[in-house]
Amino acid sequence: MPQIFVLLFLICFGSFMVFRFVPWLLNKIIVVATLSVLVVVTVFGMSDKLLILGVGGTWMIFALLKILHLWQTRISFKTTN
């Protein structure tokens, strides 16, 4: 039972720090998701495969969204000039 309180504290504290110091909203969301996965895996001692899947999947989604954002920025820049 105390593990759940530690888990909630770490996720809330990490989320606060990320939203305070990391620019761009999508970066904030991805970092919070990654921290949450790491904390859950650490506290509950889940398998390494789950850790790799969770963190790897999170960063894969982050990379795809970042590429999409850059592509949209490029298109909007071309249409405005």
DSSP the chain: -HHHHHHHHHHHHHHHHHHHH--SHHHHHHHHHHHHHHHHHHHHT--HHHHHHHHHHHHHHHHHHHHHHHHHHHHHHHHH-
**Stretch 26-55: mean pLDDT, rounded?**
67
Distance CA 3, CA 21 (A): 27
pLDDT at 48: 63
pLDDT at 7: 67
pLDDT at 1 over 60: no
pLDDT at 68: 74
Domain count, the chain: 1
pLDDT at 73: 72
Range of the domain at 24: 2-80
Residue-wise pLDDT tens digits, 66-78: 777 777 777 666 6
